[in-house]
């Protein structure tokens, strides 16, 4: 066989494959399609991470296998290139973000190619390309026309360090997701997308897709559906709507508490109230979210009427009430709510028990007391009856609320898609249909501290004529968040060069939905939810053929440094895939990334483990010197291997598939293997380690690529063994193992076992009570 030289082999085959065009998906091909998708990378200056390689290698295995199984596989890649890191880098180094992006994409492309990933390179996309973001803008306009994109003056999360407004999802524990500095609330006019209008659809859609359980539950929790009751309280001549999940406690209401941001609060002319509002405004998000802190509040001098018993209760203000949920007002039931109880204790408010069953505060369901006509009912029945009562009197009724908030869609930055809206004094907000609205090429793109986008300074770009009335008008200067481009990219792959539509409807019909989508757990409540939202919307307006974009979603675990920390220059624990490829070859890297541990779990990098995989490939290489006769045993093992590897790949269990192949090669070293069966083994390994297998395939005298071969079939009959080791247990403990015929019956086995000397010695003076026989496994004698 000669020397195994991965460097030489790998570049040779990468060039050949590119020439052959084996990895191209063919539109409308008669074969069944299979759309395999990996999250496209953000082309950062750090280059490809071994974590990217893990996820991409895994889905490359899947794609290659599906191709060999006769599917027309679409396995595309592209670049999600708008975003802050590029902009920050560009500002620091004085290079235009477009230049930085171009350079980084080149680096990424070369790195991806050096791993031998079987992407369809003809379909590459780049979210910063005007031909691409034209359609991102187009989708925005469709949302705008349907009233799902709107402007609102809202308190947004403002990161003073990045000088950017953040969505709730981008704020982690009150801190900016990117830079970690504390965020503050700041009122600003922002573009919003009404994802809340899709809460129910996003929830319902989860019932028909195959996502890992933890992904599903995380989305369900994030949407946060809760069933309850809306009820109206009167304050003078105004009506205040309150949401509660415990309307059965309505007779226990001893106050009404409003959020400091509540509409009604603005009109209260009271020194104490004004002081309190000022104080809460100054509190940072982090302070306000602190659960340990003591609750504070202020009495408004107003009273509200409880519609059920016409009782007059005081109205308070407190910042433990969330403005953006359930109307920003709560009915105060200290006897049956922990938070209300704390507040009542502090301000000495009345505590009135209306549910019997335990110590106050009692938060479980129970039997109603002190509740007028509803006394004696259990909570559940009471909720039904009171809801009906409210509905009949037109005072409210059952209602559903969601934790999900609308998506803050504006960014005051340069490096993003311009929002294609024109502000006209006469016509108001006008859609600019002349797409793409291109980013002007400028020298200065530093964010301003005023909260305005840097685009605002470019007068010749900002000042335009209104498309409606031709009067002087101004462009919107906010750009879209980095989540915009990735919310629909899977559609563009189906038809990436289309100039007339985001993608041809027939091609979407053919390729969509995505059959298997892999990505990081960190995108579950962001990208995954956003892209489902956009797709369902596009389905509703007839642009895409399916409502749910992804049939199957799985996620990979992170690859950490060998010290168990996140790979980072500051920890000096970064593994550069280029160096690994250079030293060991892409095949070893790919194999190790599949073997290192369960695919969905986080794992630490271990270079010695990688060396083991490299050793294995050398072993495989030299095993091909050992081609000769096969015995029955090794053929049996090979057929079992084909079954096992196929099954494991479909179930994301790449690590055990690799282990099984290693086991097989160990047996091969003890026995020889004939050429036909050695080729079958090679086909299985080829999806993991394409280069070495293609080379060996050629060395065996084959003219065409191994990837034109079909995936080997196993024969169940050949897997079956004639003999097996029967485990003999006494009272569940192993006492012996006997080699017996596979077809042995219970009677025969009993006879055999009871006559064995070893077993006999255990049975002296005892009588078997019961004998359990499991075919091809064991026999257990119970004494």
Partner RNA sequence: GCCCUCGUGGCGGAAUUGGUAUACGCGCAUGAUUAAGGAUCAUGUACCUUCGGGUGUGUGGGUUCGACUCCCACCGAGGGCACCA
Q: Please give the residues from 393 up to 452 whose contact with RNA meets the rule CB under 7 A.
A: 401, 403
Count the residues of the shown chain that bind RNA, applying the rule CB under 7 A.
Answer: 83
Closer to RNA at the Cβ: 114 or 183? 183
Interacting residue with RNA among 11, 69, 142, 245 (CB under 7 A): 245
> Minimum distance from CB of 609 to RNA (Å)?
5
Closer to RNA at the Cβ: 155 or 224? 224
End-to-end CA distance of the chain: 60
Is there binding between residue 609 and RNA (CB under 7 A)?
Answer: yes
Interacting residue with RNA among 18, 601, 713, 741 (CB under 7 A): 601
Residue whose structure tokens are 């004639």: 722
Residue numbers 294-323 binding RNA by CB under 7 A: 295, 319-322
> Minimum distance from CB of 77 to RNA (Å)?
26
Partners of 177 in beta bridges:
none
**Contact status, residue 217 vs residue 228, Cβ threshold 8 Å:** no
Residue numbers 158-187 binding RNA by CB under 7 A: 168-169, 172
Closer to RNA at the Cβ: 572 or 761? 761
Residue numbers 321-360 binding RNA by CB under 7 A: 321-322, 325-326, 328, 330-331, 333, 337, 339
Interacting residue with RNA among 161, 731, 745, 746 (CB under 7 A): 731
Strand, helix or coil for residue 514? strand
> Minimum distance from CB of 597 to RNA (Å)?
4
Measured CA distances, 703 to 5, 41, 706 (Å)? 21, 36, 9
Four-residue CA torsion sign, 137, 535, 75, 657: positive
Closer to RNA at the Cβ: 169 or 478? 169
Q: Pick the stretch among 158-166, 600-608, 701-709, 744-752 that binds RNA (CB under 7 A).
A: 600-608
Q: Pick the stretch among 14-22, 131-139, 582-590, 723-731 that binds RNA (CB under 7 A).
A: 723-731
> Minimum distance from CB of 194 to RNA (Å)?
17
Q: Which of 138, 77, 193 is closest to 532 using CA atoms?
A: 193
Q: Pick the stretch among 39-47, 97-105, 368-376, 719-727 that binds RNA (CB under 7 A).
A: 719-727
φ, ψ at 422 (rounded to 5°): -115, 130
Question: Alpha-carbon distance 685 to 679, whole Å?
Answer: 10
Interacting residue with RNA among 387, 525, 630, 652 (CB under 7 A): 525
Q: Which of 249, 231, 228 is closest to 378 using CA atoms?
A: 249
Closer to RNA at the Cβ: 62 or 466? 62
Closer to RNA at the Cβ: 185 or 505? 185
x/- contact string, 636-675, with RNA (CB under 7 A)?
A: -----------------x-xx-xx--xx--x--x------
Closer to RNA at the Cβ: 570 or 608? 608
**Contact status, residue 351 vs residue 341, Cβ threshold 8 Å:** yes
Question: Alpha-carbon distance 27 to 35, whole Å?
Answer: 12
Interacting residue with RNA among 408, 484, 529, 596 (CB under 7 A): 596
Partners of 35 in beta bridges:
74
Compute the residue count for the chain: 783
Closer to RNA at the Cβ: 31 or 777? 777
Interacting residue with RNA among 1, 95, 152, 289 (CB under 7 A): 289
Q: Pick the stretch among 440-448, 483-491, 493-501, 611-619 that binds RNA (CB under 7 A).
A: 611-619
> Minimum distance from CB of 157 to RNA (Å)?
12
Q: Pick the stretch among 437-445, 609-617, 625-633, 678-686 that binds RNA (CB under 7 A).
A: 609-617
Burial class (CB in 10 A: 0-12, 13-18, 19+), 542: exposed
Closer to RNA at the Cβ: 303 or 320? 320
Is there binding between residue 5 and RNA (CB under 7 A)?
Answer: no
> Minimum distance from CB of 418 to RNA (Å)?
29
Interacting residue with RNA among 282, 312, 733, 767 (CB under 7 A): 733
The pair of structure tokens assigned to 493 is: 């792959």
Closer to RNA at the Cβ: 329 or 455? 329
Question: Alpha-carbon distance 364 to 382, whole Å?
Answer: 14
Closer to RNA at the Cβ: 151 or 555? 555
Is there binding between residue 1 and RNA (CB under 7 A)?
Answer: no
Measured CA distances, 450 to 408, 412, 422, 456, 476 (Å)? 18, 10, 21, 11, 16
Interacting residue with RNA among 29, 122, 275, 290 (CB under 7 A): 290
Four-residue CA torsion sign, 459, 460, 465, 467: negative
Residue numbers 757-776 binding RNA by CB under 7 A: 770, 772, 774
x/- contact string, 187-216, with RNA (CB under 7 A)?
A: --------------------------xx--
Question: Alpha-carbon distance 585 to 194, whole Å?
Answer: 48
Instruction: Calculate the CA 778 to chain-centre distance.
Output: 44
Question: Alpha-carbon distance 581 to 706, whole Å?
Answer: 22
Question: Alpha-carbon distance 346 to 78, whole Å?
Answer: 57
Closer to RNA at the Cβ: 117 or 256? 256
C-alpha atoms less than 13 angstroms from C-alpha of 719 in its C-beta half-sphere:
10
Strand, helix or coil for residue 69? coil
Interacting residue with RNA among 16, 110, 221, 373 (CB under 7 A): 221
**Contact status, residue 782 vs residue 768, Cβ threshold 8 Å:** yes
**Contact status, residue 686 vs residue 716, Cβ threshold 8 Å:** no
Residue numbers 360-399 binding RNA by CB under 7 A: none
Q: How many helices (H) and strands (E) does the chain have?
A: 25, 32
Q: What is the DSSP letter of 208?
A: G
Q: Which of 611, 578, 579 is closest to 592 using CA atoms?
A: 611
Interacting residue with RNA among 40, 517, 616, 668 (CB under 7 A): 616
> Minimum distance from CB of 322 to RNA (Å)?
4
Four-residue CA torsion sign, 643, 610, 116, 705: negative
The pair of structure tokens assigned to 566 is: 């996140």
């Amino acid at each position: 066989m000669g020397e195994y030289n991965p460097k030489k082999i790998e570049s040779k085959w990468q060039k050949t494959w590119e020439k052959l065009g084996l990895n191209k998906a063919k539109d409308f091909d008669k074969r069944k399609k299979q759309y395999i998708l990996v999250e496209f990378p953000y082309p950062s200056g750090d280059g490809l991470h071994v974590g990217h390689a893990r996820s991409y290698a895994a889905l490359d295995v899947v794609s290659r296998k599906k191709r060999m199984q006769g599917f027309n596989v679409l396995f595309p890649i592209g670049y999600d290139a708008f975003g802050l890191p590029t902009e920050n880098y560009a500002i620091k180094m004085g290079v235009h973000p477009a230049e930085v992006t171009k350079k980084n994409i080149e680096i990424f492309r070369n790195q991806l190619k050096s791993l031998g990933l079987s992407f369809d390179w003809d379909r590459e996309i780049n979210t910063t390309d005007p031909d691409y973001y034209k359609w991102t803008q187009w989708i925005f306009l469709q949302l705008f026309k349907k009233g799902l994109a709107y402007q609102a003056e809202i308190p947004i999360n403002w990161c003073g360090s990045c000088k950017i407004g953040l969505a709730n999802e981008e704020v982690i524990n009150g801190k900016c997701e990117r830079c970690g500095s504390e965020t503050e609330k700041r009122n600003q006019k922002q573009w919003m997308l009404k994802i809340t209008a899709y809460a129910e659809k996003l929830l319902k859609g989860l019932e028909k897709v195959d996502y890992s359980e933890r992904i599903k539950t995380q989305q369900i929790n994030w949407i946060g559906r809760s069933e309850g009751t809306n009820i109206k309280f009167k304050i003078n001549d105004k009506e205040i709507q309150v949401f509660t999940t415990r309307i059965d406690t309505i007779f226990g209401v001893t106050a009404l508490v409003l959020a400091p941001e509540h509409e009604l609060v603005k009109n209260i002319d009271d020194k104490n109230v004004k002081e309190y509002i000022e104080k809460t405004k100054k509190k940072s998000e982090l302070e306000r979210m602190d659960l340990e802190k003591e609750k504070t509040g202020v009495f408004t001098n107003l009273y509200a009427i409880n519609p059920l018993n016409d009782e007059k209760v005081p109205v308070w203000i407190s910042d433990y009430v969330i403005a953006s949920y359930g109307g920003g007002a709560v009915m105060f039931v200290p006897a049956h709510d922990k938070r209300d109880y704390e507040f009542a204790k502090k301000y000495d408010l009345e505590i009135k028990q209306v549910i019997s069953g335990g110590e106050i505060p009692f938060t479980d369901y129970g039997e109603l007391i002190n509740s007028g006509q509803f006394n004696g009912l259990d909570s559940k029945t009471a909720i039904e009856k009171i809801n009906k009562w409210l509905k009949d009197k037109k005072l409210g009724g059952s209602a559903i609320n969601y934790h999900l908030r609308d998506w803050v869609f504006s960014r005051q930055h340069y490096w993003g898609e311009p929002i294609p809206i024109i502000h006209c004094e006469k016509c108001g907000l006008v859609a600019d249909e002349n797409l793409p609205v291109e980013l002007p090429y400028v020298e200065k793109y530093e964010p301003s501290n005023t909260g305005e986008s840097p685009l605002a300074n470019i007068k010749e770009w900002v000042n335009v004529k209104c498309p409606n009335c031709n009067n002087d008008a101004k462009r919107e200067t906010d750009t879209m968040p980095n989540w915009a481009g990735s919310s629909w990219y899977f559609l563009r792959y189906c038809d990436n060069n289309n100039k007339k539509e985001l993608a041809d409807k027939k091609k979407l019909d053919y390729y969509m939905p995505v059959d298997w989508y892999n990505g990081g757990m960190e995108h579950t409540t962001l990208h995954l939810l956003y892209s489902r939202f956009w797709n369902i919307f596009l389905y509703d307006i007839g642009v895409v053929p399916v409502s749910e974009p992804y049939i199957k979603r799985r996620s990979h675990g992170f690859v950490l440094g060998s010290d168990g920390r996140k790979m980072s220059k500051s920890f000096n624990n970064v593994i550069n895939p280029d160096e690994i490829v250079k030293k060991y070859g892409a095949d070893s890297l790919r194999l190790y990334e599949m073997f290192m541990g369960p695919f969905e779990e986080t794992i630490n990098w271990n270079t010695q483990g990688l060396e083991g995989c490299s050793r294995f490939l050398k072993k495989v290489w030299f095993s091909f010197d050992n081609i000769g006769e096969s015995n029955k045993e090794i053929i049996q093992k090979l057929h079992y291997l084909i079954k096992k590897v196929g099954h494991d790949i479909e179930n994301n269990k790449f690590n055990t598939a690799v282990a099984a192949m290693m086991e097989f090669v160990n047996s091969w070293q003890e026995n020889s293997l004939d050429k036909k069966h050695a080729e079958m083994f090679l086909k299985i390994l080829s999806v993991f380690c394409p280069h070495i297998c293609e080379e060996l395939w050629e060395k065996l005298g084959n003219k065409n690529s191994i990837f034109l071969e079909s995936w080997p079939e196993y024969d169940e009959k050949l897997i079956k063994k004639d003999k097996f080791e029967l485990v003999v247990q006494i009272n569940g403990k192993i006492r012996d193992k006997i080699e017996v015929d596979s077809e042995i019956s219970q009677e025969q086995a009993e006879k055999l076992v009871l006559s064995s000397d070893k077993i006999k010695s255990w049975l002296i003076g005892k009588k078997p009570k019961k004998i359990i026989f499991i075919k091809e496994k064991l026999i257990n004698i119970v004494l």
